[in-house]
Amino acid sequence: MQVSATNRYATVSPTKVRLVLAHLPGKSIEDALNLLKFMTTPHAKMIAKIVQSAASNAENNFAADPANLYVKRAYADDSRRLKRFRPAARGRIHPYMHRTSHITITVDEREQ
């Protein structure tokens, strides 16, 4: 039984989040949270909340044992891009984009 939690429109680029998410699949919930706690990136705290939410969803909605849960999938998809402009020299503008992402964590229960 796979249970997931999603953070939509997270204000971080998906390429930055994927660097953190690459470490999570296959780890137990406790190991994943300990790993995220000591990561230096500021986005690890946000991802830890999503992992906790997915574990809580599995525990409360499907009566899963939290000790047997592990991270099955962790991925980040592109979301909307906020297009902004900055003034430049000689009356010009330089466009830039605020990228956002949808972060999804899927947990599953290990077979004993």
Domains of the chain and any CATH numbers: 3-109 (3.90.470.10)
- In Å, what is the CA distance from 95 to each residue of 82, 85, 92? 11, 4, 10
Q: Are 111 and 69 in contact (CB under 8 A)?
A: no
| pLDDT reported for residue 46 | 96
One digit per residue, pLDDT tens: the chain, 112 residues?
Answer: 899 999 999 999 999 999 999 999 999 999 999 999 999 999 999 999 999 999 999 999 999 999 999 999 999 999 999 999 999 999 999 999 999 999 999 999 998 7
